[in-house]
Amino acid sequence: MYALNYVRPGSLAEAAKLLAAHPEAKLLGGGMTLVPTLKQRLAKPSHLVDITQLPELHGIRAAKGRLEIGAATKHHDVATSSMVRRAVPALAYLAGLIGDPQVRNLGTLGGSVANNDPAADYPAAVLGLAATIVTNKREIAADDYFQGLFATALEEGEIIVRVVFPVPKRAAYAKFPHPASGYAMAGVFVARTGEGMRVAVTGAGPGVFRWREAEAALAKSLRPAALEGVALDAAELNEDIHASREYRANLVRVMAKRALGKLSGRK
Ligand SMILES: Cc1cc2nc3c(=O)[nH]c(=O)nc-3n(C[C@H](O)[C@H](O)[C@H](O)COP(=O)(O)OP(=O)(O)OC[C@H]3O[C@@H](n4cnc5c(N)ncnc54)[C@H](O)[C@@H]3O)c2cc1C
């Protein structure tokens, strides 16, 4: 690891000022992704700006059909929140599947959504629920936010403050985890929203994506069998030592059917 400055601002405005003053600074969330990157000398920030204590980035609130979660909220706190469990049980369930207890007790919602790992879980819920990413500068719809492999609409110096999830009529998540890391080999988040069905897939492609053909099929029937024969182009999916494209395409279909199976009888 290179020598660097660790700073802990007292407010969101102070954090933004630090980023503006030091273009090589990096925000520090739970450090679950960033710290290993530093240890491997893959990044060399001048400052680590620790935003985990900022009051503006904390809190879980539910009102008027929305669930708002502060960016510094840890995965464990989402998984065990009675408010999240009541409003969007599938989101609490998803958070409880992330990594291991150590990762869940340090990793944050904002860090995960900012990082946008193609196999991360939260992006599937954020896209599947048509959430809004609220930063210190603007609000970004999930459909505009995720831009492929580790790429997002975030600009330099932009800080995720919270994520606002519209409460769906029902939602469910099914994931096939990598046995070593727990990351998704394929994860499918299915949501029945006021605007229709949404199906978001993580782990299988170069970034989270909506499986629109499945959404169209589910508009006619919510039975898992409705997904038989629905187009999913394996050529667009990832291939590595863990799984071929075709295997991942099959996993996506299986996970989508499992999620649909769970949808019945759940919110
Ligand atoms: C062993 C292991 C297993 C894991 N398994 C899973 C898994 O199964 N599923 C899964 O989804 N994830 C998994 N993760 C990743 C984990 O969820 C991390 O929490 C997440 O990737 C990053 O969150 P963080 O809070 O630790 O962010 P950090 O590592 O602190 O930061 C990550 C990036 O986001 C930026 N950032 C942080 N917060 C903000 C913010 N508020 N606004 C803007 N930018 C910000 C940082 O500058 C950095 O670039 C795993 C990690 C490990 C180490």
- Ligand 1: centre distance to CA 120 (Å): 9
Structure tokens at 55: 């009051």
Mean pLDDT, the chain, whole residue set: 96
Predicted confidence at residue 6, as pLDDT, reads 97
Distance CA 115, CA 95 (A): 16
Predicted confidence at residue 264, as pLDDT, reads 75
Structure tokens at 26: 């990096």
Quick: pLDDT tens for 42-77.
999 999 999 999 999 999 999 999 999 999 999 999
Is residue 202 within 8 A of residue 120, CB to CB? The reply is yes
Structure tokens at 34: 């960033």
Task: Look at residue 140 and tell me whether its pLDDT is greater than 60.
Answer: yes
Distance CA 224, CA 261 (A): 6
Quick: pLDDT tens for 222-263.
999 999 999 999 999 999 999 999 999 999 999 999 999 998
For the chain, domains (ranges, CATH) are 1-53 (3.30.43.10), 170-263 (3.30.390.50)
Q: Closest ligand 1 atom, CA of 135? A: 42
For a mutational test of ligand 1's pocket, the pick from 98, 138, 140, 185, i.e. the residue with the most ligand atoms closer than 8 A to its C-beta, is 98
For a mutational test of ligand 1's pocket, the pick from 6, 19, 28, 32, i.e. the residue with the most ligand atoms closer than 8 A to its C-beta, is 32
**Nearest Cα to Cα of residue 113 among 158, 180, 174, 61:** 158
Distance CA 262, CA 233 (A): 25
pLDDT band at 265, cuts 50/70/90? low
Predicted confidence at residue 266, as pLDDT, reads 43
Q: Is the backbone of residue 100 left (phi > 0), alpha (psi -120 to 50) or beta?
A: beta
Residue closest via CA to ligand 1's atom 39 equals 111
Q: What's the start-to-end Cα distance of the chain, in Å? A: 46
Which protein residues touch ligand 1 with a CB less than 6 Å away?
Answer: 26-34, 51, 71, 98-99, 103, 107-108, 110-112, 114-115, 117, 120-122, 159-160, 181-183
Predicted confidence at residue 267, as pLDDT, reads 39
Residue closest via CA to ligand 1's atom 50 equals 99
- Ligand 1: centre distance to CA 264 (Å): 32
Least confident of 2-6, 14-18, 187-191, 202-206: 2-6
